[in-house]
Amino acid sequence: MTRVLVLNGPNLNRLGTREPEVYGADTLADLAKLCAETGRELGLDVDFRQTNDEAEIVGWIHQAVDDRTPIILNPAAFTHYSYSLRDALAQRTAPLIEVHLSNPATREEFRHTSVVAGVATGTIAGFGTASYTLALRALADLL
């Protein structure tokens, strides 16, 4: 089985309670379970993680680069300003798919720019938790 990192940035640990009209009612645990189940169907070993710490997520990315591990990433707020995240991702050695539960292009103007998109293989946004299953399917096709 191919190992895949599914990384989640700040505030995603608040899923289910944070703005459910935007992000849905599913919790982070629900999302982790969905990703694990979808991954098994596709022959992918999903390593699902979340952090509110920019340094921690950059460290995880460095390890993925060294191990040639594909990444599915919801950078959350880091999407719009984290050049350290972008620079780490630019070193990628395997596919990278950026995901978002909501569609940033339909939201506040400051959310319209992604510093990550330019180094990603592709971006999937606006489909709620299905953004993750779509990303896993796209990644399986790429691999």
Catalytic residue flag (residue 100): yes
Question: Can you give the pLDDT at residue 23?
Answer: 64
Residue 8 labeled ligand binder: no
Residue 102, domain extent: 2-142
Catalytic residue flag (residue 81): no
Residue ranges of the chain whose pLDDT lies below 50? none
Rg (C-alpha) for the chain, rounded Å, is 14
The whole model's pTM is what?
Answer: 0.91
Question: Can you give the pLDDT at residue 16?
Answer: 84
Question: Can you give the pLDDT at residue 22?
Answer: 63
Residues in the chain: 143
Residue 101 labeled ligand binder: yes
Domains in the chain, number? 1
Question: Can you give the pLDDT at residue 35?
Answer: 98
> What is the CATH classification number for the domain harbouring 125?
3.40.50.9100
